[in-house]
């Protein structure tokens, strides 16, 4: 059972979320909070697995609360659900250590699945937020920026060959060729490269399926295979990998 804490300054929003999430057999809403300070208090008292939190709240906003939670209770995973998808909100939230960044237009069923995936240790970014992050990572002034470091700083150490956010793939001859390389890239099929490119452009599975004229189930299979082959944890890492290696622009 996933213990979930709701944090939003609008009572009607909390009520609506609670009504829907109560229909999910594996999710239990254990409490609510109306501001950032109350979120910290409730988190310490209730010890939820996941907190679904708004960004714009009184007394302490969601980003400040996420930073405090990361320092005090790093085992709690924070999902931001907001109306903002611009860089001024996405980047600070990612740097604060949130594991999910969703927009409030998300479908209820997709929200439930996002909560489950974050609980399982995955990172969930709305395509618009992912696109904003990708644009930042591909900009000239992003060289060396480890923008996603805090999104994984509570996970176990990565194994040899794995790629962290913002980390260049290791290749002893890369500097001589003047471009980064990654030893597992050649494992991808042409179709998997196409899917990887579309992930980097912020498309979700349904949009990729429509663009490539294949089923959404087939897209999910391609995503799973390319993540395994590249030894990456999730599609956000895959998107950053694609940009770093010139697969997408």
The pair phi, psi for residue 27, each rounded to 5°, is -125, 130
pLDDT in tens, 69-116: 999 999 999 999 998 887 788 888 888 889 999 998 899 999 999 999
Indicate if the alpha-carbon torsion angle 48, 88, 223, 24 is positive or negative.
positive
Residue closest to 65 by CA, chosen among 117, 15, 9, 18: 9
Rounded to two decimals, the pTM is: 0.62
Taking 50 as the threshold, does the pLDDT of residue 155 lie above it? no
Where in the chain are all domains bearing CATH 1.10.10.10? 168-244
Taking 70 as the threshold, does the pLDDT of residue 180 lie above it? no
Distance CA(135)–CA(145), nearest Å, equals 13
* Architecture of the 168-244 domain: Orthogonal Bundle (1.10)
Distance CA(73)–CA(43), nearest Å, equals 8
pLDDT, greater one: 23 or 202: 23
Dmax (CA) of the chain: 59
Average pLDDT, integer, range 193-214: 88
Is 245:236 a contact under the CB 8 Å cutoff? no
Where in the chain are all domains bearing CATH 3.40.50.2300? 2-132
User: What pLDDT is recorded for position 87?
Assistant: 75
Domain 2-132 has CATH 3.40.50.2300: yes
């Amino acid at each position: 059972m996933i213990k979930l804490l709701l944090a939003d300054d609008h009572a009607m929003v909390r009520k609506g979320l609670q009504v829907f999430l109560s229909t999910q057999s594996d999710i239990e809403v254990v409490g609510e909070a109306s501001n950032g300070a109350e979120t910290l208090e409730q988190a310490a008292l209730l010890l939820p697995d996941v907190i679904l939190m708004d960004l714009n709240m009184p007394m302490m906003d969601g980003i400040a609360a996420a930073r405090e939670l990361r320092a005090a209770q790093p085992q709690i995973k924070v999902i931001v659900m907001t109306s903002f998808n611009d860089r001024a909100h996405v980047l600070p939230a990612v740097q604060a250590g949130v594991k999910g960044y969703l927009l409030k237009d998300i479908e209820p069923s997709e929200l439930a699945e996002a909560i489950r995936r974050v609980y399982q240790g995955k990172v969930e970014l709305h395509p618009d937020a992912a696109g904003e992050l990708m644009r930042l990572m591909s900009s000239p002034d992003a060289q060396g920026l480890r923008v996603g470091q805090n999104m994984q700083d509570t996970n176990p150490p990565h194994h040899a060959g794995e790629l962290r956010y913002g980390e260049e793939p290791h290749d002893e001859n890369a500097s001589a060729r003047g471009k980064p390389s990654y030893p597992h890239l050649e494992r991808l099929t042409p179709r998997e490269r196409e899917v990887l490119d579309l992930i980097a452009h912020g498309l979700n599975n349904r949009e990729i399926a429509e663009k490539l004229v294949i089923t959404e189930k087939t897209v999910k299979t391609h995503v799973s295979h390319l993540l395994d082959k590249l030894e990456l944890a999730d599609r956000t890492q895959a998107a950053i990998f694609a940009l770093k290696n010139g697969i997408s622009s």
